[in-house]
Structure formats: C-alpha cells, structure tokens
Chain A
Amino acid sequence: MMVAAQVQTSVLETWVTIVTVAATAVAGDVLTAGAMRRIGDLDLIRAKAGMGGAIKAVVGSPMFLLGVLSMALSFFSLLFTLSNVEVSLAAPASASLTFLGNAFAAKLFLKENVDRRRWLAAGFVCAGVFLLSK
C-alpha cells in the first residue's frame, strides 16, 4: 500500500516537473515572440543600426527580459527534471506539451492566425515527438 502511494507520488512529481518545464517554456516563447514582433525585423535593424543597434533594441525590451526570465526558469526546471526523470520521457513529453501550449498561447495572446494547417502541424509534431520516445 505504502509502496503504491510512493509510486503514485513519484508519478505526480514527475508530471508536475514536466508541466512546469512546459508552462515556463510557453511563457518564455510567447513573451519573446511578442517582444520581437514589437521590435521589428532584426535584419532591417542590423542593416540600419549595425549588430550593436540590433542587440540594444532586443536587450532594451522589458517584455524580452521577462521572456528570458521565464526561459531561464524553464531551463533550470529542465535540468532538475532531467536529473530525476528519464530523458526519453522528460524531453518529448515537455516538448509535446510546449508545442500544444504555444499554439493556444500564440492564438490567444499574439493573435496569430492559427488556422487548421497550423493546428494540424502542432498535433502532428506533438504525436511525432511522442512516437520518437518509443
């Protein structure tokens, strides 16, 4: 009974860490994508203001810095997860959840046109990543 409870807790912990990796990754992706959309085409900025100008435009964006903070949280969550959960489960599970979460978040927050084609792509990639772990 106790062993079963321990196993259940372990499974719960596993998925909490995986969902944490995915949630922080989605937050980071959406914030940085929103920041890059506001900043504009980096190729054009680099052509006009040089590499320094492009770096200044990116680093000076509070939304970008918040995105980096979320990505850093995701990175340390991933390190933590990889040390406790098998990579064959942690990597594809967090990646799949991140793909689906990003499709929802991009439509909701970035107002991207996530049409049937992109939903299909997110679903196919999600399923494909899971099959790769088999």
Chain B
Amino acid sequence: MKHTLTPQRYLILLAVMLTASVGDTLLSHGMTQVGPVSVGHLGMLLVAMRNPWVVSGILCLLGFFASYLTALSWADLTFVLPSTAFGYVVVALLSKFWLHEAVSLYRWAGIVLIVCGVGFVANGPSLTQHDSHHPVDEPVAAGGTR
C-alpha cells in the first residue's frame, strides 16, 4: 500500500527542512564568535550557551526536533532524512539570490544531486509495512494500527 502525505504533513516536512538549516547556520555563526574549544577547556561549551546566536540556533533546532519527531511518527527514517538535506539547497539558493553570493558549478551540481535524491524518496511510499507481531510496529499509545 502506498502511503501518501496530506498537505499538512508536507508542511511539517518543510518545517524540518528550514529549521534545521537555519539553526545550523546560527550555531556556526555563534561558535565562530565564542572561539576554539579544546579538550582541556570543555567549560567553554557552557560559555557558548550564553551567546545569543547559539541560543537562537538552539531554539531553531528545538523547532526542528518537534517537527522531526512528528514526521517520524508517520514516516520512515529513510523517508524523512533526505528532507533535512533539502535545507542545504535552500541555504545555497538564498545565498545566491538574496545575499548575491557566487555559487560555483560544484554547488549547482550538488543541488541537482540532492533534489534528485529527495525526488527519489518523495515519489515512493513513506512508511514500511511490517507484520503486526513485529515489536517495532506495535503502538504503545493511542496511535492505532498502521
């Protein structure tokens, strides 16, 4: 049986894509301000928690986590994960058309490959059917049978 997604569920996947890439970018920017963290000074990681960019990145990643968990409750891990990669494409396109940065041929090739990869799984079933006796498939809450 082919599991198709409702528009609402596609919106959840869109949230997965956008919050992950924006969160990673904010974290990266914050950590360049905090400076290098060495094994001898792991306490610097706690200092990083006071950086507003790091905090914003963490908030974004919390939004990612909520939408990611929701998606995992009705789709396979190998279906949801390529969606997160599509965020890289969004960042590359924003940097080209909004920030007017140069995007090399390598990056365009990378964008094409990721779009193809996401397209492969998006056209397939979103959830693997298991036998009802399989432990992974037994819902423990009010999820009903699949």
Contacts and interface: CB of A to CB of B under 8 A. Distances in A.
Interface of A: 29-30, 32-34, 36-45, 48-49, 53, 57-58, 61, 76, 78-80, 82-84, 87, 91-92, 95, 99, 102-103, 106-107, 110-115, 117-118, 120-125, 127-134
Main secondary structure of the interface of A (DSSP, over half): helix
B78 A103 contact: yes
B126 to A, nearest CB: 11
Contacts of B146: 41
A113 B134 CA distance: 14
Nearest to A123: B117
- B interface majority secondary structure: helix
Given A41-B73, A41-B143, A110 B112 contact: no
Interface string B8-47: 0000000000000000100110010011111000101100
A40 B82 contact: no
Contacts of A48: 142
Interface string B117-145: 11011011100111000111111111110
Interface in B40-80: 42, 44-45, 48, 69-70, 72-74, 76-79
Contact of B78 (A44, A91, A118): A118
Given A125-B85, A134-B110, A79 B37 contact: yes
A110 B77 contact: yes
Contacts of B48: 79
B18 to A, nearest CB: 16
Interface of B: 24, 27-28, 31, 34-38, 42, 44-45, 48, 69-70, 72-74, 76-79, 81-82, 85, 88, 92, 104, 106-107, 109-114, 116-118, 120-121, 123-125, 128-130, 134-144, 146
B140 A38 contact: yes
Nearest to B61: A75
A82 B28 contact: yes
A102 B143 contact: no
Contact of B144 (A40, A95, A103): A40
A112 B80 CA distance: 12
B110 to A, nearest CB: 3
A83 B120 contact: no
B11 to A, nearest CB: 12
Contact of A125 (B27, B114, B143): B114
A43 B144 contact: no
B74 A83 contact: no
B136 A95 contact: no
